[in-house]
Structure 1
């Protein structure tokens, strides 16, 4: 089912309060993508795990009611309790377990804008408790040297104004956060939180430039992907932007563009963001 942005925002704003009611049957599953690196799937954004002699690094943490199951899944990988927790952005389906992991001793890190948004809260993500706030923040990025690899955290915005990707240099794995929705149709661009389709395109181009055909790509949502998958995703977005821009240049207004729907034929699969919502995000980004 595809939803316009307004409906998505309404659902997202209630997600945290409803989480405890509908998480009972959620199973956390793991997929190893490189030695000592795995992806955890459950409810919410995909979780990256890096573990080894220097401790465990977790990328995102889904919802608070799932923390115990996530911790068990980490343990089942043979990993120690989480030492570092990286937030790819501030949305509740990626940071909902922050407070729990903070109380358990994890050091939380994120972009400056993520901390600011979690301090104040927004319509779709409430203000975080002190234990759930990032204690280390950065502007353009930072690097962790751990578990035999160099792990770069790089600020690349577009989905929001606080997005980061996580790059394992030696193991050739990249966690894209919600810059990449794989097999979910059009992206959700949170324009109310500084998201911008043009910035998204630029960030995707930067990330693609860091990859080769062997790179393992972890999307924010959806199955593990490849560089080719990300290239195709970016082409879909780029062609959609060009189509909307062309109609605007012809003097068509928003309603006429929605009626003509130039993006519909370009969508690679069904998803939860409607054609109309994506057109609105494009127009708001120009």
Structure 2
């Protein structure tokens, strides 16, 4: 139930007005889970956070929402005395970048794919939720950007930040802590629910599958996987979701090929086999089927 509540909070966060933010986050607690080596996973509201601690300073992946920054900083202080030096954004959505301004103003360097900075710096519209997102202030923007990949040699680990191409959005990156053997997937992986694909931000179902294939190629049997949302995972669970996506993409494509409309495809309930396992989150089976239909009709690039 706690997992489902978290997914519900994500959906609400994309729709709620800022005036309710403080009340909504007042009771949120930030929890720290040891993952492997010096890597920890933080959970609260919004995207899961990865933290690498050590003598070089703290390294963090994603930062949830601005009202939670003080709580996150308190947990970080309990993990290490060294200051927070780097924050990686896996993509631009506010439940992963909301703390950028606070943390950047506190001295951390924000790093992301160049498309993350482009989207954060301009007005966006998330079509799936009919939600307009205003530009972020300059202090919230990544100060270091890359086009393909970058590597940090930090705290005795080699941290690979790899852009995966349009998937959840057009700015997605996965982060692999090589020595700890931990992979942070961002929102390419929603563990336990149908994954949200933000077509209006350049995402596509084909890209999601390709990104999962890339991630699986980087992992071994013992790799720990931090999903964008949901509990700590592993390659077997990731492959299970990847195979589900492939199967449902094929079913929906067949319905499209027979000339069925969007409404008819949804009415055919192609996801029924998997709804008990994946259809209990904020991405309802009907909504998710409609998004996949739209993605396949537009093509991999997400363009009409």
Same fold per TM (> 0.5)?
Answer: yes
Taking the TM superposition and a 5 Å limit, the aligned residue runs for 1:1-286 are: 12-14=14-16, 16-123=18-125, 124-156=132-164, 157-183=166-192, 185-267=193-275, 268-269=277-278, 270-286=280-296
Worse-superposed segment, 271-280 or 68-77: 271-280
TM-superposed CA distance for 1:16, in Å, is 4.7
Q: 1:15 to 1:113 in 2, by over 3 A?
A: farther
Q: Is the 8 A contact 1:46 1:219 kept in 2?
A: yes
**Runs of 4+ in structure 1 over 6 Å off:** none
In 2, Cα distance between the equivalents of 1:177 and 1:144?
Answer: 18
Q: 1:121 to 1:17 in 2, by over 3 A?
A: farther
Q: Is the 8 A contact 2:167 2:188 kept in 1?
A: yes
TM-score, normalising length: structure 2: 0.88
- RMSD between aligned residues: 1.7
Secondary structure of the corresponding residue to residue 120 of structure 1: coil
Alpha-carbon deviations, 1:93-125, whole Å to 9, x = none?
110010000110000000111000011031343
Work out the number of aligned pairs and report it.
280
In 1, Cα distance between the equivalents of 2:159 and 2:20?
Answer: 34
TM-superposed CA distance for 1:78, in Å, is 2.1
TM-superposed CA distance for 1:13, in Å, is 3.8
Unaligned runs of 5+ in 2: 5-9, 126-131, 297-304
Q: 1:120 to 1:72 in 2, by over 3 A?
A: same
Q: Is the 8 A contact 1:115 1:134 kept in 2?
A: yes
Q: 1:140 to 1:16 in 2, by over 3 A?
A: farther
Q: 1:104 to 1:177 in 2, by over 3 A?
A: same
Q: 1:17 to 1:236 in 2, by over 3 A?
A: farther
Q: 1:97 to 1:86 in 2, by over 3 A?
A: same
Q: Is the 8 A contact 1:91 1:125 kept in 2?
A: no
TM-score, normalising length: structure 1: 0.94
TM-superposed CA distance for 1:17, in Å, is 4.6
Secondary structure of the corresponding residue to residue 161 of structure 1: coil
